[in-house]
Structure 1
């Protein structure tokens, strides 16, 4: 086969890719969570938001999140191909060529960082650049295939969006934004280890050293419970430190107790339980928890700001 023939074949394969394939390359579900948590960080910041700056910030952060997803799918195409959960992704299924996924991710990375830096501020742009680098290089290319602590350390990448949103609004980083970072950081291990418990075979085939495959299910269940306790405690910190109202504090405490209860069911799960219902239930609840606690925080911040504006009028 000549180079010309190969190029023609590659062009034909590329032409089969749809807009939906490229959207899937951006990991839209992950992107939606990034957008939401970044927006909460932005709204919670104690400044008046410029609507145009807010719009540019959210779009840039969304594009940066998508760029991270594209770079992750480019590099992980080999392991994605052998895992049932990821085998139909655009790159391992052949709908998008690896080189095209790489170019797409790099272009979006530069575009998102430069837009946020030039039109908003360079602290936010720098944090976004570091987040993309951390996820695509530190986590995807190194930690994921090297250590069972991949999710713990790599979870930092998904924890930065509220800090980026805060930095976009204020040009600074505060303890309040760090607490929002910590909520996501501590949420990540129990969320993904719950998934890993009922997807152990997938990770084993792919050679990914997830905690259940390396330390065993019993150790993983204990660590899930420990992180759940820490998450529940950090979840109420915004109220304890005066950043949020008692309404938020009660809601966060209730959500945290729910997380602990589900984690306790996983801890008590029989060693020979192949159905893994408690792990699946915790995985589902963890998604609800993160959305709910940030939603309550958002509403609390909006109500507090409306109250202050009303008092000043």
Structure 2
């Protein structure tokens, strides 16, 4: 059965997919790990653990951190596996993703589905038993949104796919807070919004680099339907709102002097990179001149250091 928006070339490739490729045990284990998208998990955990430090106003209990990290890792891995299963037809056509386990037929779709389901169930049990039910519920909601709303509905239908689909990646800030406090508050909501406004510049920079891949498989990422300069304008706009939102944490959470200083410096650097991307994109579609991956890598560093500042604030500022 084909999926809405599935291109003819991808349908043919998917229909002709063979059985699992013979591979060594090491290759198979690596393939299953790859399905969980470990680099994405790393970024999600970087927005979970620091919030736990801030919620505890110091160092949270080690056992709680371990349980939250394990549960969060398995949960994010589960969502990524389901995403890989659903997107295997377009992954097979794109240069960036064609070496994943499913396009290479090292793992079958059925095996991957079972793997994703097991990860999801175990993650929910870990979070519910060793953390709390609120964190477990938020984790399940994030996964459901990512799989059913972003992957299955938004991604192939609208250029705003990553704007609203990115909501799923914002939940770790809420989960880290509720793991410690057992309740929600405005502080994690502000951090939730920081990640929300960070996601479009981060993803559109990557999509600029691979826009021909997305165009080939009919996925309407913004850089596919708009010139690079107009994409850069939106990147700058979201970046400004993101930095302003990050500074809002200072009065909302009553942080010390350290956080606003760090957020201000990091925000200034990020805005410089966003504006530099816009200047490079003016009047050209040449990716060698635009260099979108510079902003992509800068965005990863920005978010990581910002949340490290969140964790350090109660330790440094007292």
Among 264, 268, 275, the residue aligned to 2:275: 264
| CA deviation vs aligned residue, 1:198-252 (integer Å, no higher than 9, x gap) | 2110100111110021233232111111001101111112223343222221111
| CA deviation vs aligned residue, 1:43-98 (integer Å, no higher than 9, x gap) | 11147733323221211011101111111111111111111111101111111111
Distance 2:191 2:171 in 1: 9
Q: Is residue 237 from structure 1 mapped to residue 241 from structure 2 by the alignment?
A: no
Among 292, 308, 317, the residue aligned to 1:279: 292
TM-score by length of 2: 0.88
Distance 1:271 1:191 in 2: 22
User: Would you say the 8 A contact 2:20–2:107 is kept in 1?
Assistant: no
Measured after TM superposition, the shift of residue 276 of structure 1 is 4.1
The total of aligned residue pairs comes to 297
Distance 1:118 1:292 in 2: 31
User: In the alignment, what sits opposite 1:289?
Assistant: 302
* RCO comparison, higher one (Cα < 8 Å, 6+): 2
User: In the alignment, what sits opposite 2:312?
Assistant: 299
The 5 Å alignment of 1:3-152 reads: 10=19, 13=22, 17-46=27-56, 49-152=60-163
User: In the alignment, what sits opposite 2:176?
Assistant: 165
Among 146, 162, 166, the residue aligned to 1:155: 166
Distance 1:227 1:200 in 2: 20
User: Would you say the 8 A contact 1:197–1:276 is kept in 2?
Assistant: no
User: In the alignment, what sits opposite 2:13?
Assistant: none
Distance 1:11 1:254 in 2: 50
Distance 1:101 1:253 in 2: 43
Distance 2:20 2:74 in 1: 26
Distance 1:281 1:157 in 2: 25
* Cα distance change, pair 106–80 in 1 and its aligned pair in 2 (3 A): same
User: Would you say the 8 A contact 1:64–1:108 is kept in 2?
Assistant: yes
Runs of 5+ consecutive residues of structure 2 not aligned to the other structure: 1-17
Measured after TM superposition, the shift of residue 277 of structure 1 is 3.7
* Cα distance change, pair 11–187 in 1 and its aligned pair in 2 (3 A): closer
| CA deviation vs aligned residue, 1:156-186 (integer Å, no higher than 9, x gap) | 1111101101111111111101111111111
| CA deviation vs aligned residue, 1:111-170 (integer Å, no higher than 9, x gap) | 111221133211101000001111111111111111111110011111110110111111
Distance 2:244 2:20 in 1: 54
Q: Is residue 174 from structure 1 mapped to residue 191 from structure 2 by the alignment?
A: no
Runs of 5+ consecutive residues of structure 1 not aligned to the other structure: 1-8, 308-313
Distance 2:234 2:22 in 1: 45
User: Would you say the 8 A contact 1:60–1:116 is kept in 2?
Assistant: yes
How large is the Cα RMSD of the aligned pairs? 1.9
SS at match of 2:206: helix
User: Would you say the 8 A contact 1:198–1:276 is kept in 2?
Assistant: no
TM-score by length of 1: 0.89
